[in-house]
Amino acid sequence: MPEWLLVLLIVVLKATLVSLGLLTTFAYMTLVERRLLARMQIRHGPNRVGFQGLLQPLADAVKSIFKEDIIVKNADKLVFLLAPVISVMAALTAFAIIPAGPAGSFFGEDPWVFDLDVGVLFVLAMTSMGVYGIFLGGWASGSKYPLLGGLRSSAQMISYELGMGLSILGLLMLVGDTNLRSIVEWQAANGAIIIFQSLAFVTFLISSFAETNRTPFDLPEAEQELVAGYLTEYSSIKWALFQMAEYINMITASALMATLFFGGYKGPAFLDAIIPGISSWPFVWFILKIAAFLFLFIWVRATLPRLRYDQLQRFGWKILFPIALFNTMFTAFYLAFFPNAPLWILGLLELGFVALWLAFSSRPAKEVLSTRAPMGGD
Amino acid sequence: MSVLEIAKGMGITLSKLFQKPVTISYPEQPAQLKPRFRGRHVLTRHTGTGLEKCIGCSLCAAACPAYAIYVEAAENDPRDPVSPGERYAKVYEINMLRCIFCGMCEEACPTGAVVLGNEFEMADYRYGDFVYGKQDMLVGTQGSKPQRREAKKYKKAVKMGFQVTVRPELEGVKYLASREVSS
Ligand code: SF4
Ligand code: SF4
């Protein structure tokens, strides 16, 4: 067998594994999410299908596959069919680049599907492609609510994309490389980036919530105003594909946060003193970190109510965007004018900014409602 | 929204995660009903004589907002009376599909004959089976029609899915504390 064919086969195999893994995770995420949400609301949650409801995702899958697949009359058929596929494809592709362990740790192969020097940019680009799925889906449905929902979500995702991109600029300046593996290795050498870029992490976290359309930013699915947003006309497997894309985006966002800010696939180095080499075990730390972030996503969903649309846009453009921009400028300033100063001072300053932001956010908001009559478009 | 408030809220949801759920896993665990729960009607009897309290006056049917009750009265045979009055209800039917369990019949009844009990597990397959006759509601009948049908088929005791303290109006009605009631 020629060398290139072997490489190709291995890559295809890894891609299949990643897809299967993500799909299983998605299926069980729905179960875990429902159980956790239920427990946080002092209920049981789904516990009937199989032991403790463990077969529920299977039942859901069978149900959504065999449901009647409706294509509404006014729909643009091709685009209508294509939209969920675009969503899922973008979501899956984005995840494939994230390294899950050190090179050669996956049965002698590298634990990532492909490796690009523009890693971070690629992930950002791919996750933004998801907007096309949502927007095209809303447009191709040929009815009003999906169109509004699609418009809303694209506006939302584009607004928060900016904040997201800007919040990692500081990080990129620190590391000096966009390759995800270099970022992880830099962190292994210098300490997790969350220490030096806490402000950036906060903005990144909030933008990821908005990017993945999760509560409190799940406006596209605001049932009260928009039925089900861009999903309204979708049924059966196409609906399931959109759900899948949303959950995979969530997993990708978690993986990205873990990789960019929390040392990626490397575990905490001090554990090496107890069990030597534990910090560079592949997969374990990566999966643990993703799980922690996924729990955070669910936890927030159980707690926070949804923002109003104008609040969402105001928050994105007037608060998140300037802060992310400030963080970029500040980090650039620090790195340019004090190239020899230790990095922990930068970390301290960033922490100070976070505290300042918290203090300001805790002031009771005076404006809104009293001064401003509600308008039709809100 | 201030961050402190968000943190407080997150704390609450997290603490609830470790609390025991309040949901009752109903068919396996009995539901605890309130004593004044209004369920399937019971036609009571006089305790001493054992005569039916109902005198067939149709006041309940008149009071019923859902027109769920049908009463057909007949003269009592003085030598072998069914009820202490002049007349008794030869046919007494309640359509449980129409009934809204409002309790108006109980309020209207001059003799306290029809009382709303606690049984509620009446789901069935045919419209006709929802019309409950005297034999389905007189004191001593345990369980709803489908429950009794099932108990007969499998030769088991009627299984009730609830616990309740019985009200005094339901003279002679006993729901055994254990959930097994002999049919
Ligand atoms: S409970 Fe109400 S609806 Fe039902 S039979 Fe009595 S009066 Fe009619
Ligand atoms: S149940 Fe009461 S109100 Fe109804 S017919 Fe009998 S005695 Fe009259």
Q: What DSSP letter does each residue of A189-226 carry, written as one string?
A: HH--HHHH-HHHHHHHHHHHHHHTT-TTS-GGG-HHHH
* CA nearest ligand 2 atom 2, residue: B109
Query: Which of A40, A363, A364 has its CB closest to that of B17?
Result: A40
Q: With beta carbons less than 8 A apart as the criterion, state whether A279 and A266 touch.
A: yes
User: In this structure, are A152 and A83 located in the same domain?
Assistant: yes
Distance of alpha carbon A153 from alpha carbon A127, whole angstroms: 13
In a domain, A378, yes or no: no
Bigger pLDDT: B39 vs A340: B39
Q: Which two tokens stand for residue B56?
A: 């067939």
The ligand whose atoms approach the alpha carbon of B134 most closely is: 2
What's the domain count of chain B? 1
In a domain, A1, yes or no: no
What's the domain count of chain A? 2
User: In this structure, are A129 and A202 located in the same domain?
Assistant: yes
Distance of alpha carbon A110 from alpha carbon A265, whole angstroms: 13
User: In this structure, are A314 and A231 located in the same domain?
Assistant: yes
The ligand whose atoms approach the alpha carbon of B71 most closely is: 2
**Looking at CA atoms only, how far is residue B13 from chain A in angstroms?**
5
Q: Which residues of B touch A361 (CB under 8 A)?
A: 1-3
User: For residue A88, how many C-alpha atoms fall within 13 Å in the half-sphere facing its CB?
Assistant: 18
Predicted pLDDT at B177: 47
Is residue B28 less than 8 Å (CB to CB) from chain A? Answer: no
Q: Note whether A299 contacts B16, CB cutoff 8 Å.
A: no
Is residue A333 less than 8 Å (CB to CB) from chain B? Answer: no
Q: With beta carbons less than 8 A apart as the criterion, state whether A134 and A230 touch.
A: yes
Distance of alpha carbon B145 from alpha carbon B183, whole angstroms: 12
User: In this structure, are A46 and A190 located in the same domain?
Assistant: no
pLDDT per 10-residue tile (average), chain A, 378 residues: 83 86 88 89 86 86 85 84 88 85 73 80 85 85 83 83 87 86 83 84 88 78 69 82 87 88 79 74 83 90 83 85 90 86 81 83 57 51
Reported residue count of chain B is 183
Q: Which of B4, B13, B23 to mutate to test the interface with A (most CBs of A within 10 A)?
A: B13
| B55 close to ligand 2 (CB < 6 Angstrom) | yes
User: In this structure, are A245 and A311 located in the same domain?
Assistant: yes
CB-based burial, A35-55: b 16+ in 10 Å, e otherwise: bbbbbbeebbbbbeeeeebee
Q: A274: exposed, middle or buried (C-beta count within 10 Å: 0-12, 13-18, 19+)?
A: exposed
User: In this structure, are A89 and A184 located in the same domain?
Assistant: yes
Amino acid at A144: K
User: In this structure, are A51 and A84 located in the same domain?
Assistant: no
User: In this structure, are A20 and A108 located in the same domain?
Assistant: no
Ramachandran angles phi, psi of A109, nearest 5°: -105, 170
Q: Which residues of A touch B22 (CB under 8 A)?
A: 42-43
Alpha carbon A337 to its chain's center: 34
In a domain, B28, yes or no: yes
In a domain, A129, yes or no: yes
Distance of alpha carbon A128 from alpha carbon A108, whole angstroms: 33
Distance of alpha carbon A222 from alpha carbon A267, whole angstroms: 39
Predicted pLDDT at B104: 93
Q: Which residues of A touch B13 (CB under 8 A)?
A: 40, 299, 302-303
Query: Which of B16, B20, B22 has its CB closest to that of A40?
Result: B16
| B81 close to ligand 1 (CB < 6 Angstrom) | no
Distance of alpha carbon A336 from alpha carbon A187, whole angstroms: 20
Q: Which domain holds residue B84?
A: 23-182
Predicted pLDDT at A363: 63
* CA nearest ligand 1 atom 3, residue: B99
Q: B26: exposed, middle or buried (C-beta count within 10 Å: 0-12, 13-18, 19+)?
A: exposed
**SS3 category, A342:** coil
Q: Which residues of A touch B29 (CB under 8 A)?
A: none
In a domain, A3, yes or no: no
Place of tokens 């994309």: A161
Q: Which two tokens stand for residue A232?
A: 């309204």
Q: Which residues of B touch A300 (CB under 8 A)?
A: 10
In a domain, B127, yes or no: yes
In a domain, A165, yes or no: yes
The ligand whose atoms approach the alpha carbon of B43 most closely is: 2
Task: Name the DSSP class of B130.
Answer: G
Distance of alpha carbon A230 from alpha carbon A80, whole angstroms: 11
In a domain, A186, yes or no: yes
Is residue A48 less than 8 Å (CB to CB) from chain B? Answer: no
Q: With beta carbons less than 8 A apart as the criterion, state whether B159 and B180 touch.
A: yes
Is residue B177 less than 8 Å (CB to CB) from chain A? Answer: no
Query: Which of B1, B16, B21 has its CB closest to that of A44?
Result: B21
Is residue A38 less than 8 Å (CB to CB) from chain B? Answer: yes
In a domain, B5, yes or no: no
In a domain, B104, yes or no: yes
Distance of alpha carbon A229 from alpha carbon A207, whole angstroms: 20
Could you say which of A47, A64, A81 is where a domain stops? A64
The Å distance, Cα B178 to ligand 1 centre, comes to 29
Most confident of A97-106, A349-358, B74-83, B89-98: B89-98
Ramachandran angles phi, psi of B114, nearest 5°: -100, 125
Bigger pLDDT: A161 vs B98: B98
Confidence bin at B180 (pLDDT 50/70/90): very low
Nearest CA in chain B to A36: B17
In a domain, B18, yes or no: no
| B64 close to ligand 1 (CB < 6 Angstrom) | yes
Q: Which domain holds residue A256?
A: 67-368
Nearest CA in chain B to A48: B25
Which runs of E-coded beta strand occur in chain B?
31-32, 41-43, 69-75, 87-95, 114-116, 131-132, 158-159, 162-163, 180-181
Q: Note whether B3 contacts A358, CB cutoff 8 Å.
A: yes
Distance of alpha carbon A25 from alpha carbon A100, whole angstroms: 15
Distance of alpha carbon A285 from alpha carbon A288, whole angstroms: 5
User: In this structure, are A45 and A77 located in the same domain?
Assistant: no
Q: What is the CATH number of the domain that holds B72?
A: 3.30.70.3270
The ligand whose atoms approach the alpha carbon of B40 most closely is: 1
Q: With beta carbons less than 8 A apart as the criterion, state whether A253 and A293 touch.
A: yes
Q: Mutate which of B100, B106, B122, B132 to test ligand 1's pocket (most atoms within 8 Å of Cβ)?
A: B100
User: For residue A334, how many C-alpha atoms fall within 13 Å in the half-sphere facing its CB?
Assistant: 22
Of A136, A129, A134, A150, the C-alpha closest to A76 is A136
- Tens of pLDDT, residue by residue over B104-131, are 999 999 998 999 988 888 889 999 899 9
User: In this structure, are A59 and A151 located in the same domain?
Assistant: no
Q: Note whether A299 contacts B21, CB cutoff 8 Å.
A: no
In a domain, A7, yes or no: no
In a domain, A258, yes or no: yes
Q: What is the pTM of this model?
A: 0.78
Predicted pLDDT at B31: 84
